[in-house]
Amino acid sequence: MSELQNTQEDPVRAFLVGKDDGTYPISELHGLVKTLGMTINGSILLSRYIPTPQFGVGTGKAHEIIALAQEAEAECIILDFEISPTQQRNWEKEANFPVFDRNEVIIRIFAQRAKTKEAVLQVHLARLQYAMPRLAHSYGDMARQRGGSYGSKGSGETQLEIDRRDIKEQIAQIKDELKKVIKERETMRKRREKIPLPSCALVGYTNAGKSSLLNSLTGSGVFVEDKLFATLDPTTRRLSLSGSTGILLTDTVGFIRNLPHTLIDAFKSTLEEAVRADLLLIVLDASDTDVFGQYETVCTVLEEIGASKNKRLLILNKTDKEECERNFSLSRIKETGQNALEVSAKNSAGFDALIEAIADSLFGKIKEYSLKLSDTELLNEIRKNGILVSSEWTEDAVKIKARISEALETKLFAPPSKPLLP
């Protein structure tokens, strides 16, 4: 008997359906479906459709799509727009194979990617909440075409057998476990906060190059991949800035347009890293033809998680790529008049200016000050809490160049109260 077995199943063949309403390109769904390990046998863009309660598109259109998918020998249909559990049931009854939406694709990618205990629990929670009304009905017989089980091995088979009450119990149990894990993370964060280093979080659309930037800037080896949602857990590294003890730089989970709400909820504690950062580095892929749309999504998500008021810097990454030239979407960002720093994580271009901008924002711009020779205490305070760039001792003064935060500047150099006018 041969020991060799073909354990690698053929990739599932998918048929994609997008809406051609100019809002965003279907290429994103292509990327998501490929990340999930499926092959794309065909796709259609709907330029005109009448939304109906039964399918979300006209009945005739739904039949046409199913026929096209069958012709393309697809095993499932993936819709680039959200459908309700009832609509999903109607589609599947008609097609006799799985039909699901972009939200399900994203949750499934997260499930595949989750590695640490916290991420696994968070995804499990999102998956159960999403699965409750949707998946139990067709889980067993259509498991393969959906691309296997969700998350951990074996959970797929049991899904069908579990009734809603059981799922609710599971959700409660996971929430409990998650609370414990979150507490551990809080303890770690508190420990970190004792080190008085300012913190920066790299945030942005998935695949923008956040992890690559963390690696190039700090010389670390965080996992990088040309697939979506390579990072699910925040990683923190120290970045040294000349003259200071440095800052803490945290890599975070990527955002995507219409991130399913169950995921935002489940990943709240992870996203908290961004909310707590002293400075947000918004990383954008300058070569993407939809970079402006991605920028808008990032701003929306930041608002949703309560980080819209944090200080921020805009970083245009991947500027080494030819596609950046004549990128109309990129011009739209530049037209907003915001100061955007152009860098490349690949060849480290623009890093000096980036580090300068981070230091300016966190510690204040370099300014010149003239101190009295007797002001040794003041000088010590600047050394301790600001960044002393240079000092020159003359006969009657010490001329220094330093970065001093606004708060410290006010404390140290507050103008003496004005004499009252007669």
Summarize as ranges the residues that interact with ligand GTP (CB under 6 A). Answer: 206-212, 224-226, 228-231, 254, 317-318, 320-321, 344-346
Span from 29-37, 229-237, 271-279, 395-403 in contact with Mg ion (CB under 5 A):
229-237
| Centroid of chain to Cα 375 | 47
When the beta carbons of 321 and 383 are compared against ligand GTP, the nearer one is: 321
Partner from Mg ion, ligand GTP, none contacting 346, C-beta within 5 to 8 A by type: ligand GTP
Residue 202 or 382: the one with the smaller Cβ distance to Mg ion is 202
Residue nearest to ligand GTP (CB): 254
211 scored as a contact of Mg ion (CB under 5 A): yes
Nearest-approach distance from CB 351 to ligand GTP, in angstroms = 11
Which partner in Mg ion, ligand GTP, none is near 212 (CB below 5 to 8 A by kind)? Answer: ligand GTP
Cβ nearer to ligand GTP, comparing 144 with 346 = 346
Looking at the Cβ atoms of 87 and 215, the one nearer to Mg ion is 215
Nearer to ligand GTP, 170 or 329 (CB): 329
The nearer residue to ligand GTP, 345 or 387, going by C-beta atoms, is 345
Residue 283 found at the interface with Mg ion (CB under 5 A)? no
As a dihedral over the C-alpha atoms of residue 379, residue 380, residue 383, residue 388, rounded to 10 degrees, the angle is 20
Residue 230 near Mg ion by CB under 5 A = yes
Q: How far is the CB of 204 from ligand GTP (least distance, A)?
A: 6
Look at residue 138 and give the partner it binds from Mg ion, ligand GTP, none, a contact being a CB closer than 5 to 8 Å depending on partner kind.
none
Q: How far apart are CA 294 and CA 205, in angstroms?
A: 6
Listed as own residue / partner, the contacts of 328-337 with beta carbons closer than 8 Å and 24 or more positions apart are 328/289, 329/288, 329/289, 329/290, 329/291, 329/292, 329/293, 330/286, 330/291, 330/292, 332/292, 333/284, 333/291, 333/292, 333/295
Closest to ligand GTP by CB, 138 or 317 = 317
CB of 254 to ligand GTP, least distance (A): 2
Residue 344 binds which of Mg ion, ligand GTP, none (CB < 5-8 A, kind-dependent): ligand GTP
Q: Give least dist CB 254 to Mg ion, A.
A: 6
Query: Is 123 or 408 the residue whose CB approaches ligand GTP more closely?
Result: 123
The answer to whether residue 78 forms part of the interface with Mg ion (CB under 5 A) is no
The entry of ligand GTP, Mg ion, none that residue 209 binds, CB within 5 to 8 Å by partner kind: ligand GTP
Residue 321 interface partner, choices Mg ion, ligand GTP, none, CB cut-off 5-8 Å depending on type: ligand GTP
Q: 96 burial class (0-12, 13-18, 19+ CB within 10 angstroms)?
A: exposed
Distance (Å, rounded) from C-alpha 171 to C-alpha 178?
A: 10
Q: Which residues bind Mg ion (CB under 5 A)?
A: 211, 230-231
